[in-house]
Chain A
């Protein structure tokens, strides 16, 4: 399960070959197809990459820890020669002519790209339910733990409809990592899209500082907030991925130019020097009593271990989601303008005029959510509304960012907050409200970190009463990922989150996975 200590070592020692690893993951993808985590499985190219990796290991020339490691990538990253759809009709059939920088970096280090994962259309959503390829199912819906503890409202025949969502929008990536079909996956995070599904699927979700990882090739949603996200099964693995991906990219002028030094995480034993901040505003309306209790328990954990735990205030927290709503729709209105049918993607058969062709193409290609955001964004950007909404939101953004600066300046090192308001909802319940309402509800705890550009990570903490994962979030100072991940790793060790016991796939266990599943965290 853990890259460094187990799989990488196994590969290096020849106990398992990259090809075997790749084949097992591909087989697992097939047997977990009902999760709908993958849009495209790049079987041929993956096996070829695994073969090449095997050759390197045989010659003693491995490219590093990631050589031969199967990974998955969210389908809003460009991948050369592989379809990139953003789960939208607008890009069905679009074969990327290039690799996103982060994808290229993974490939350059020998990672094996298994496929592209499912998401909400154009990463707009918090459930991974609104893409054209259908919703993603949370693997935890199929565990003994969930089946035993979920309210027996449904008879066994109806169990099919009892499944829970992954959260979103990087739900496919979270489900892929959670169900062992890959060792790490890339997501994207604009309002919480990596952390939300990571928390619901019981995996680690890292949102790096804005400007640390290149966005070149990530199909943009909100240029001033988007970041590539990292999903893994443990914090150490997230550090490995971060090391592989971070750093200045001349093709993305919003990446900082400072040298990035990859790091190994120390095993923190003494937290007495640490100051943990508990922002009172994150006790948001709708926060389940269960998660509130877990949050409190976590704070006590730090306190009892000798850390300084203080209550802090981020007064503008509740406006973060409103601010996001305006800035996001405005940037979306601009970013979606490129989809006109001429150069790539879907093109309508309408021929009357250029404009009517554009309009018909976009009418046919975008779903309601995307169109809704484009129209809202255009409204806020109208001359008569520009100052009132867009500029106003930019001012509120500064206030939100300043809240964090003040708190960190007061001596707090890391903030501890819940990641989600509750555990994963059943799909049938989730779809009762529309996308915008759900996003506004679900992004409340994750969004402010994007507003301020800060790094944040969700760590699987415990199972809820329904047997579903709950994660807690740590928010750190800008570019202080090492400190953030060190604390997260310490916390991970303390909570000993249980391994997922997937019922349907128990039969497919083979040597390597058995070994990994039985290995404990510490």
Chain B
């Protein structure tokens, strides 16, 4: 059962990475096929496991005290585009072009 172009396009939007070529799409198809083997396992009555440490439950809350910070200078150093203490991004609220308008491998499918 092949994945539809709509879903492939949707995935590219969600992930913000591209399939790039037919190999990329094949890769996904094979990955799904591989994952389908899970359905051979009977999991009736089995609870999903989030963490191997569930019995120890070490995820805890701490007091809302400021214990570190004041490292703006260090953090800004790795950003390419910045103004004063702001990271600069291109304009937002502009959706990615639709499939028909984009230059993407999926157009041909």
Chain A residues packing against B (C-beta within 8 Å): 94-95, 97-98, 210-211, 224, 250, 253-257, 316, 319, 322-323, 325-326, 329, 333, 340-345, 347, 350-359, 362-363, 366, 368, 371-372, 374-376, 378-380, 382, 388-389, 391-399, 401, 434, 436, 440, 452-453, 478
Contact = CB atoms under 8 A, between A and B. Distances in A.
B48 interface: yes
Given A345-B78, A376-B28, A378-B11, A257 B58 contact: yes
B24 to A, nearest CB: 7
A97 B56 contact: no
B24 A368 contact: yes
A342 B89 contact: yes
A433 B77 CA distance: 40
Chain B binding surface, main DSSP class: loop
Given A97-B71, A342-B89, A371-B18, A359 B96 contact: yes
Given A95-B78, A345-B78, A401 B11 contact: no
Given A253-B60, A396-B43, A355 B95 contact: yes
B48 A322 contact: no
A238 B74 CA distance: 34
Nearest to B81: A347
B14 interface: yes
Contact of B49 (A343, A372, A388, A397): A397
Contacts of A368: 20, 23-24, 27
B75 A453 contact: no
A394 B48 contact: yes
Contacts of A211: 52-53, 56, 58
A343 B78 contact: yes
A224 B54 CA distance: 11
A322 B37 CA distance: 7
A377 B27 CA distance: 12
Contacts of A376: 27-28, 31-32
Nearest to B25: A375
Contacts of A350: 90
B83 interface: no
B80 interface: yes
Contact of A394 (B15, B49, B74, B89): B49
Contact of A353 (B41, B49, B92): B92
Nearest to B47: A398
Contacts of A358: 16
Nearest to B31: A376
A178 to B, nearest CB: 30
A377 B56 CA distance: 28
A359 B16 contact: yes
A478 B108 CA distance: 52
B59 interface: yes
B91 A354 contact: yes
A355 B16 contact: yes
14 contacts: A254-B59, A256-B58, A343-B75, A352-B94, A353-B95, A353-B96, A358-B16, A363-B17, A366-B17, A374-B17, A379-B28, A392-B43, A394-B50, A395-B46
A345 B81 CA distance: 11
Interface in B59-97: 59-60, 62, 71, 74-75, 77-81, 87, 89-92, 94-96
Contact of B48 (A256, A341, A345, A391): A391
B96 A210 contact: no
Nearest to A344: B78
Contacts of A440: 34
B98 interface: no
B60 A395 contact: no
Nearest to A389: B35
Given A254-B58, A343-B78, A395-B46, A359 B52 contact: no
B109 interface: no
Given A372-B27, A395-B41, 18 more contacts: A97-B71, A322-B37, A322-B38, A325-B31, A326-B38, A342-B89, A343-B87, A353-B92, A354-B89, A355-B16, A362-B17, A363-B20, A368-B23, A375-B27, A378-B11, A392-B39, A398-B48, A453-B52
Contacts of A343: 75, 78-79, 87
B31 A329 contact: yes
Contact of B20 (A254, A371, A478): A371
Contacts of B20: 363, 368, 371
Nearest to A384: B7
B32 A379 contact: yes
A269 to B, nearest CB: 34
Contacts of B91: 353-354
Contacts of A256: 53, 56, 58
B1 interface: no
Contacts of A393: 35, 38
A184 to B, nearest CB: 26
B73 to A, nearest CB: 9
A436 B31 contact: yes
A356 B97 CA distance: 9
B75 A97 contact: yes
